[in-house]
Amino acid sequence: MALATSVGIDVHGREKGLHMARITWGPSTDGPHEVMFETVSLANYRCSASHGACPVVDLQIPRSFIARGDIDGLAQATMPVVDHLEPLLREKLEAIPPTLIAIDSPSGFARNTFGHGRRTEKTRAPFGFAGARQIYAQMTPSLDIGKPHGGTRWSWIMFGMATFAVLGGRLPNKDRESGWRDYLGGGPDGSEPLEAFPSATIQFLRQARNAAANNAVRCLLRGMVGDQVDRPRKLIESALEYGPKALDGDDRAAALIAALSTLGTVFPDAFAAVALDDQKVRKHAPAKIGREGQITLVGSSVRERSTAY
């Protein structure tokens, strides 16, 4: 494949912004693979007066709409997030459009009628490591349960969903708010970037049956070049050995792992993209309602699984 470019995006809230890792892949897995990092700052994020209070600073605003399943109200209240992010994302990505994009964030709300959390967040078989080593998957709020989400640190996903909608071309110029409303209510339709989960990818690669993929990723990391790549590379190598905690909360490392989620497309002969979908789903997983999105992991010599719900 001729010099594909992958961008991984690690999404945070207003305080830390969005972190991007752009990889220009070499002609083979050996490299050289050029890596650049960028940050989309949200420090100047403000809500326009016409939309009232800020939906991210005042968490109660989206919480109440979500609990009632009020898609129209939610779209109107959170449209400032889209308005703020869209020009920033286009500025970063339009000059050199990437071939592939993967985003570390939930791509849509749950449509779970039993509780909060998407089906893809309730799978447990792919990781294998029990107890303290098991990854933590935040349960994304459901629009169909009629109860508020009890968590207090999930409002950043509004920035993540806005990123999916913008980069997936889901916001037509003539009626952007209608497009945003349709996205929030219907979720991803397959045109959006991949959804990544760095901690899950690390644990997946650490399984004994995925040793070949682990070694292949390590070799690929050694072929990466760039002014700021040394620390993220070392943290990822350490995480592949000792687990996700070794990433030390590093934003660039998380963005780089997100970019690695595209390997199944960049080097299909060496890697397979594996969707985290219906493997031993825990009790109270939702019925198969619409498309909630799926997490893409990296595997080698692993049969590709269906991503359809």
The answer to whether residue 268 is domain-embedded is yes
Residue 73 has pLDDT above 70, yes or no: yes
**Inter-residue contact 89 to 167 (CB < 8 Å):** yes
Domain count, the chain: 1
Strand, helix or coil at 159?
helix
Residue 301 has pLDDT above 70, yes or no: no
Band the pLDDT of 212: cuts 50, 70, 90. confident
The answer to whether residue 307 is domain-embedded is no
- Each residue of 221-249: pLDDT tens digit? 999 999 999 999 999 999 999 988 899 88
Q: For 97-124, b where at least 16 C-beta lie within 10 A, e where not — what string?
A: ebbbbbbbbbbbbbbbeebbbbbbbbbe
pLDDT at residue 133, as a whole number: 47
Q: What percent of the chain is predicted at pLDDT more than 70? A: 78
The answer to whether residue 21 is domain-embedded is yes
Residue 278 has pLDDT above 80, yes or no: no
**How many CA atoms does the CB half-sphere of 210 hold within 13 Å?**
26
The answer to whether residue 308 is domain-embedded is no
The answer to whether residue 306 is domain-embedded is no
The answer to whether residue 9 is domain-embedded is yes
Burial class of residue 43 in the structure, from the number of CB atoms within 10 Å of its CB (0-12 exposed, 13-18 middle, 19+ buried): exposed
- Across the range 125-140, mean pLDDT stands at 57
The answer to whether residue 73 is domain-embedded is yes
Identity of the residue numbered 62: P
- Across the range 289-303, mean pLDDT stands at 64
Band the pLDDT of 217: cuts 50, 70, 90. very high
Residue-range definition of the domain harbouring residue 158: 5-299
β-sheet with 194-195: strand ranges across: 224-225, 33-40, 18-24, 5-11, 100-104, 194-195, 295-299, 272-276
- Each residue of 32-58: pLDDT tens digit? 999 999 988 776 665 544 444 444 545
Phi first, then psi: what are they for 130, rounded to 5°?
Answer: -90, 170
Stronger pLDDT, 124 or 205, i.e. the higher one: 205
